Structure formats: structure tokens, C-alpha cells
Amino acid sequence: METLLLINGPNLNMLGIREPEKYGKTTLQAIVERLTQQASQEGYKLLAFQSNSEGDIVSFIHHNGLSARGALVNAGAYTHTSIALRDALLAVNLPFIEIHLSNIYAREAFRHHSFLADKALGVITGFGDYSYDLGLLALIHFLREKSHA
């Protein structure tokens, strides 16, 4: 079974508690369980990781990125600050989709810039926890189209 990565950055462990009016009431654990089941139904293993530490996320990508087929990445605030995460994803040549719960373009100006977006297959933003489902569907579609090309 091929592996897909689900990478979550800082503060996403607080989903369901942190600003539920902005990020929703669904926990990260519930999202991971739901996506793990969806991925399995499509013939993929989902390996989920969350850290508040940039270096730990980079190490996870280095360790798992070469053997994975693709990734869903919600880098949280690191989206707007981390060249290291960008470089790690590029180093392992991993196709990925950038995900955000809130519409980052309807928020503060500093959130409008992403260090990942220009290297991502696409960006899904603003659909709450359903952004993850949309990202998974899009990633699987991309991988299947790629394998048929």
C-alpha cells in the first residue's frame, strides 16, 4: 500500500479548542481518523504528523518524503515564514497540496504570502476541516492521473 503524508504545523494540535469560530470545533485527531479511513478506502496508507517545531517537521519530511507518493501540508503559521519547510519538500521531490482551514486571503495581509504555494500542486483554503477532504481527493486524483500518463 502506497503512503501519503499528512503534515500539520504549529497550533493545529489545538483544533477544536483554539478559536473555534475561525478554525471550527473538529479536533485534529478526528480529521486524521477520517482521512486515514478515506485514504484506506482508496488504497493508500496515511501517515499523519503534527509538530509545533519547524525542525521536527523538516526531519519528518526528510525521513518519510522519499518513500511517500504525496502529501497534504497544513504548515500553519510556518506557511508564511518557513523557507526550511519549502526546501525540505523540494529536497525529497514530494508532490503536495497546501491546505488551510480558514481563507488566508480574507485575513491579515501577512497571511497572504505563502512560501509553499508556488511549489504546491494546488492550494485549498477556507473550507474549514473539509479543506483536508478536498485536499485528499485532489491529491489522489493527481496521483492516479499521473500514473495513467
Of the listed 62, 63, 78, 100, which one is catalytic? 100
The question of whether 105 is a catalytic residue gets the answer no
Q: Is 62 annotated as a binding residue?
A: no
Q: Is 40 annotated as a binding residue?
A: no
Q: Is 4 annotated as a binding residue?
A: no
Q: How far apart are CA 147 and CA 9, in angstroms?
A: 29
Of the listed 23, 44, 78, 132, which one is catalytic? 23
50: β partners = 8
Q: Is 74 annotated as a binding residue?
A: yes
Q: How far apart are CA 103 and CA 50, in angstroms?
A: 21
Q: Is 93 annotated as a binding residue?
A: no
User: Are 74 and 33 within 8 A, CB to CB?
Assistant: no
The question of whether 132 is a catalytic residue gets the answer no
Distance of CA 104 to the CA centre of its chain: 15
Residues placed in the known binding site for substrate: 74, 80, 87, 101-102, 111
**Which residues are known catalytic residues?**
23, 100
